[in-house]
Amino acid sequence: MEFLGNEMITVDGGNLKIDGHDASKLASTYGTPLYVMSETQTVKNFTRYVESFKEYSEKTGKEFIISFAYKANTNLAVTRLLSKLGCGADIVSAGELYIAKLSDVPSEKIVFNGNCKLKEEIKMGIEAEIRAFNVDSISELVLINETAKEMGKIANVAFRVNPNVDAKTHPKISTGMKKNKFGLDIESGIALETIKMAEKMENVKIVGIHCHIGSQLTYISPFVEEARKIMDFVVLLKNEGIKIRDVNLGGGLGIPYDKNTKIPVQKDLSKAVLDVIYEYEGKIELPNLILEPGRSLVATAGVLLGTVEHVKETPVAKWVMIDAGMNDMMRPAIYESYHEITPCTIRAEKEVVSVAGGLCESSDVFGKDREISKMEVKDTVAILDVGAYGISMANNYNSRGKPAMILTNEKEVSLIRARETLADLISKDIVPNHLL
């Protein structure tokens, strides 16, 4: 049995193992629902990016920085692991900046994204001396400049531009087209106008250009189109007398959620992108290069374990009900996304079933009409590729606590997130005196 992209998963005697640890035993020891994050897989995923792009620094003497997209997974053990490997942080909130600093991420590897930065967040970023705020609008640029002036500081700014590139991904995670809310439009001249405004401001320093065209990209061609449009824009800026230090190309590759989907590998991405950038040698001074992968660093490293509580047959389907729900992992409910599902005790007999959670929502379904090894009540079930946008999107809908999380490697298992209790659910609620 092959689990594409999940090298830490093996099957031994019909039992699913994660980094060599029996998945059913992990479920029994730590309870379910349970997130399992593989340290081994995360290291492999990160190392492949480093190895694929290292030639850029070797050839040009410029920096290549990987800044992990914290929105994908902000568990402190995961972010500290990546920081220890040399990874930076792509953040979009004060909370993510707080976690990045707790994770010992160097400030020169932190970039602040998002299309609606708040003044308090900007102050935190300036105080932390981050590498750059990726400016998303003229009003945001004005706010950054005013805030830096009040603090007696200079804020580094890059400019998120919208190149109108179709990322060929799900509409809800496409970010680089004119109709999307992100970035400063290149074609209309708004991006250039905004940068020229920044030139005249006393409390911002122009350091880079940023672009992010979408998530879960499964083709190389959008990256190539993006890189060429960004580099053309850098040449235009040079002709206007504006030098760009950093080019940030945004997110990384998608992952093979479906084994029938062919995904380019990191070496395919680096060759295609670097070939474009090298074309501009001699036209401009080549920039430092930044990439912001999230999903492709941690998604394949994550598994959500649940327990089969009930099996029910209707006239049109056989339902397997598990104790994990859309509150634990929302992607199938909000994106109609596909995740491989397998029992952790794999039997020869197969059947077609739909796997669902127990929330009072018809969309609380992890997979419909899947041909899967036969499952029985009390079996442990594994939902794969949930290391990105799994625990980070988890919530308390139906007054359910968020699940526990463990970190595995070949030697040990560590609890890295405690399971929320019933008391945790109301810990922030306040009842006024007249209702006591």
Per-residue pLDDT of 108-167, as tens digits, reads 999 999 999 999 999 999 999 999 999 999 999 999 999 999 999 999 999 999 887 654
CATH architecture of 9-38+299-425: Beta Barrel (2.40)
pTM comes to 0.94
Q: What's the pLDDT score for residue 216?
A: 81
Q: What's the pLDDT score for residue 155?
A: 98
Q: What's the pLDDT score for residue 176?
A: 41
Say which CATH topology domain 62-293 has: TIM Barrel (3.20.20)
Closest CA to 158 of 135, 191, 138: 135
Spatial neighbors of 431 by CB under 8 A, at least 6 apart, are none
Give catalytic residues, as residue numbers: 360
Residues 397 and 246: their CA atoms lie apart, in Å, by 41
432 is known to lie in a ligand binding site: no
293 is known to lie in a ligand binding site: yes
User: CATH 3.20.20.10: which residues of the chain?
Assistant: 62-293
Residues 197 and 255: their CA atoms lie apart, in Å, by 39
Q: What's the pLDDT score for residue 166?
A: 57
70 is known to lie in a ligand binding site: no
Burial category of 239 from C-beta neighbours within 10 Å (exposed 0-12, middle 13-18, buried 19 and up):
exposed
162, 178 Cβ separation under 8 angstroms: yes
Low-confidence ranges of the chain (pLDDT < 50): 167, 169-178
Closest CA to 117 of 145, 152, 144: 144
Q: What's the pLDDT score for residue 73?
A: 98
Closest CA to 156 of 174, 169, 171, 144: 144
278 is known to lie in a ligand binding site: no
